[in-house]
Structures are given as structure tokens and as C-alpha cells.
Structure 1
Amino acid sequence: MKTLLRSAAAAAAIALTAAACGSGGPAEDPAAAPVTLHVFAAASLQEPFEELGEQFESEHEGVTVEFSFAGSSTLVEQIQQGAPADVFASADTKNMDKLTDAGLDAADPVDFTTNTLRIAVPAGNPAGVTDLASLTGDLNLVVCAPEVPCGAATGTVEEAAGLEFAPVSEEQSVTDVLNKVTSGEADAGLVYVTDVEKAGDAVEGIDFPEAQEAVNTYPITTVDGAANPELGQEFVDLVTGEEGQEVLAGYGFGGA
């Protein structure tokens, strides 16, 4: 009788062990657990990065890429305050320098693309804007705030042209400037070439020679202390590699 009891107890223990392994206990493969990769990127990168994010997810089972798009100055401030970022892509080197100066970069930043400014006006150009000097006339001009990369570039072209703008609004991201133009709240705005392309028929773009005085270089890096350093580096490699460069070029971005 005792022998039968011992056998039953042993069988029960084996069954419990098997159940624990099959129900996600310590023996479960951690690689199969869902992972979220947090990518902080300049607002102007939204369309190409979302496309690259879908590609990355398709190649990494169980991985979700979660983006935070905003002005680069806002993003780096959030990272400095402890926001969970695995990757940071800035629209200029100045804001990337803020990250590296704080020792928050896990690898040397890599320049991966460039962008330049263009005047955006609503379809039909009701204010009759023709060039950069037109922006000093009696119209509602919207630009990026000086601390934002597109705002710093605006200041550079303003100085290069010897002009003085009087914007009715200074926005925290280039997307906000574009939205005010497309909605008709602004007669003109200074945005990136890529933003004009993105807006399609909703706006018209006007080139100006001074734009070459303010070419923005975009760097990218992984963030120190990130939860997923290896995956973060793989995303950086995708962006800087041939596939990433082709996607960026398709949205009007220039080579690094």
C-alpha cells in the first residue's frame, strides 16, 4: 500500500513539473516573449520610419516598434528626464549633441540623411508668395521655434538673406507648421522639402537659394541603459543600410 502511495505522489510531482514548464514558468524561452522597441524620432521622419518599422516587425517575430515623433529638442529632453527610449534619431546634430554631452548615447551617432527647407503655401498660393523676401510682407507666416531644428535652419536662412521675419506663430515641430498651412491658418510656412512632398496637393512648395545655407544633417544612435540594446542597434543598422536609405530617398530625403 505504501509503495502505491509513493508511486502516485511521484507521478503527481512529474505532472506538476510538466504543467509548470508548459504554462510559461521559469523554463519558458524568454526570446518568445513580446518585446516593444521604443524609437524616438524627429517629426519629419514619421512616414519613412513607420514604413521601416513595419518592415522591422515583419523580420522580428514578437517585436513591436513604438514610435514617439516630435521636435528633436522635445524628444531629447524627454530622454534626459528618463523616458524609455531605445533609439534616438534627431533632425540636427545640435540636439544629438545634447544627448551625447549627457552621456546618454550607447554608441557613436551615425549621420544617415539630410533635409533642406522649402516655403509651403496653401494650394493656389492666395498670398502670392514668390520667394523668401515675400515672407516679410503682410501675411501670416508660421515657422518652427528656434530650439527646434527647422527653427534653427529658419534663422540661418533668414540671416543669409539679410531678412527679418515676423511670424505670427512659432511651433514646436515642423509637422505643426505644415498643419497650419494645410488648414489655411497660415499664408506660408517654412518646412522641409520632405514635408511639402508629404502634403501632396494640399500645399505648393517654393524653393529658394538660401536653403543651401542650412542643410540639416540627421544623426541616429542607441540610447544608454535602454531595455533592448541589441534590437535598437539592429534598427539603427536598418535605417543606415541600403534598404533604409532607399526608403528615405523615396520620401525626398537626401544622402548623408
Structure 2
Amino acid sequence: MKYRSCLLTGLVLFFLFAFMSAPVYGALESDTLFVYAGAGLKEPMTEIGTFFEEKTGIKVEYNFAGSGTLITQMELTKKGDVFIPGGTPDYAIAENKSLVIDPVYVAYHVPVIGIQPGNPHGIKSIYDFTKDGLKLALGDVNTTAIGRQGQKLFEKLGIAEDVEKNVVLRAPTINEVVTALKLKQVDASLITIDQIKGDEIESVQLPDDESLALVVPIGRTTFTTQKEHAQEFVDFVSSDEGKAVFKKHGFPVYPDPAYADLKV
């Protein structure tokens, strides 16, 4: 009898201790936001996530990838709280699929021609992408905003086929395009102005009539289970404090009179 009593007491104490020691997943989830972010936004968004956690105690976890990949993931999982792609065309795709609510705007993604230091191939314009023997790295048309925008420009100028014959890499993220250029695996690429840092890459500006600039939007997902925290993060990213981080990393911030004619 005494043995059974001791055994019962031991079991009760065991389960009580186990319950008290177990992680409270619900609490952890409510203190963590999951954000889908374009790969080209990794540097400013990582820094913003750190600032946001310090300020609010809410952790931010990211999935950085090409915008097309992120939209597919959102559509399949219906999980996550915030979406910030490289431009409004991708956000519109997500919005048309009822994955996100109306956005607010943060900064501009401004494409430029990325070239090797000293411009050894004499690249002066996008038309030079058709030069025989030139090796190009471009963003994938289906997964990157800049890849899609670039393709539209090539088609508009009637040089799409001649450009494509020089493409040796179609990368799923702009970061991989930049890496190929830095490693001198390619001669030129279409990247964004915020990627021009240090002396590893130089750039050639695109004229206004060939501008591929995009507005960077951000908004909550329609399936977030943390609307208040998600909106708080969106508001923080689009605040003066959040925009200052984008500016620090080379992004023109929204709104900017220089891009007043740009459609959002």
C-alpha cells in the first residue's frame, strides 16, 4: 500500500515537473514573426529585425528568397505574417491571389548595369549586352523582380534574343548574380544600385527612358495569426527609423521626387 502511494506521488511529481519544464510553444509563437523577404533586401531587413526585437521584444524570423519563390511558398503553406518583395509587380501577384493586404511603401530598387572594375569590355549601355562573346549573369525571369523587369526592357528594345545568347547564368536571386560578378565569372549583369559597394564592382547608370526602378512594398499576409504584431512590424519598417536603415544600405527611400513618375 505504502509502495503504491509512493509510486503515485512520484508519478504526479514527475508529470508536474515535466509540464513546468516544457517549452510554452504558444507563447514563443506569439513573440515571433515570420517574414517573407526578397533576397535583395537581406542586409537592411536583417538589421531592421534586430532593431525591432530590441525595441519590442518580438523576434523576427526571415525567409529570404526570390519573390516568385516566396509567393509559391505562401500559397502552399498559408503561414507567415509579413511579405516584402523587391517590387510592386510581385506584391500585386500576391495580392491578386488574396495572400496579402494593401501595402505601404518603403524604398526603391533601382537597377544599374554592373560591370568589372575599369570596364574592360567598354560597356556603355544596355545595348552592349548583345556584344559577341560577352558573358552575362541575370536574375531569373520567374523568381526575381529585376529579372522580370530586365526581360521587359530587352523585349521593348528588340534585343531580347541577342542578349539571351550571352547569358551564362540565370540566378534565382539577385545576390547570386552579384556574387558571379564579384568572382569575375561574368563580364556584366543587371543588378541594383544598393549592391554597388567597395571596389569589386562598378556600374553604368540606365537612362531615364530605360529605367527599371521599382518601389519596395510591405504588408501583412491575409492568414497571419498575429495581426497586431505584424502590423507593428510593417509600421516600423515603413517609419523614418526603418527607412533610415534602407538609406544606410544604399536604397533611395520612398517617397523621392526623383522617382515621382514611377507607378506603384
TM-score, normalized by the shorter chain, greater than 0.5: yes
Answer with 65-74 or 34-43: which moved more: 34-43
The 2-side partners of 1:250 and 1:211 are apart by 27
Asked if 2 retains the 8 angstrom alpha-carbon contact of 1:117 and 1:153, the reply is no
Question: Share of identical aligned residues, percent?
Answer: 28
State the partner residue of 1:192: 192
| Cα shift readout 1:204-224 (whole Å, capped 9, x = no counterpart) | 111121575322111111112
1:241 to 219, 239, 242: 239
CA RMSD across the alignment:
2.8
Displacement of 1:232 in angstroms is 1.3
8 Å CA contact 2:137, 2:190 repeated in 1? yes
Question: Shift of residue 120 of structure 1?
Answer: 1.0
* Residue 224 of structure 1 pairs with residue 219 of structure 2: no
Q: Which residue of 2 aligns with 1:38?
A: 34
Cα displacement (A) at 1:159: 4.1
Write the letter of the residue equivalent to 2:168. V
2: CA distance, partners of 1:94 / 1:32: 34
Match for residue 104 of structure 1 among 83, 96, 99: 99
Please tell me whether residue 132 in structure 1 is matched to residue 132 in structure 2: no
Normalised by the length of structure 1, the TM-score is: 0.81
For structure 1, the 5+ residue unaligned runs are 1-11
| Residue type at the aligned position of 1:136 | T
Residues 153 and 211 of structure 1: is their aligned pair in 2 closer, same or farther, counting only changes over 3 Å? farther
CA–CA distance in structure 2, aligned partners of residues 175 and 226 of structure 1: 28
Structure 2: how far apart are the matches of 1:114 and 1:217?
A: 5
Q: How does 1:151-170 map to 2 (within 5 A)?
A: 151-164=147-160, 165-166=163-164, 167-170=167-170
Conservation of the 8 A alpha-carbon contact between 1:156 and 1:213: no
Instruction: Assess, with a 3 A threshold, how the Cα gap between structure 1 residues 33 and 118 changes in structure 2: closer, same or farther.
Output: closer
Q: 1:94 aligns with which of 89, 94, 115?
A: 89
Is 1:57–1:64's contact at 8 Å kept on the other side of the alignment? yes
The match for 1:64 is: 59
User: Of the two, which has the highest radius of gyration?
Assistant: 1
> Please, which moves more after superposition, 236-245 or 157-166?
157-166
Matched-pair contact (CA < 8 Å) for 1:160–1:213 = no
Determine whether 1:251 maps to 2:245: no
Show the counterpart of 1:113: 107
Q: Which residue of 2 aligns with 1:7?
A: none
Picking from 70, 74, 77, the partner of 1:75 is 70
TM-score by length of 2: 0.79
CA contact (8 A) 1:118 1:211 kept: no
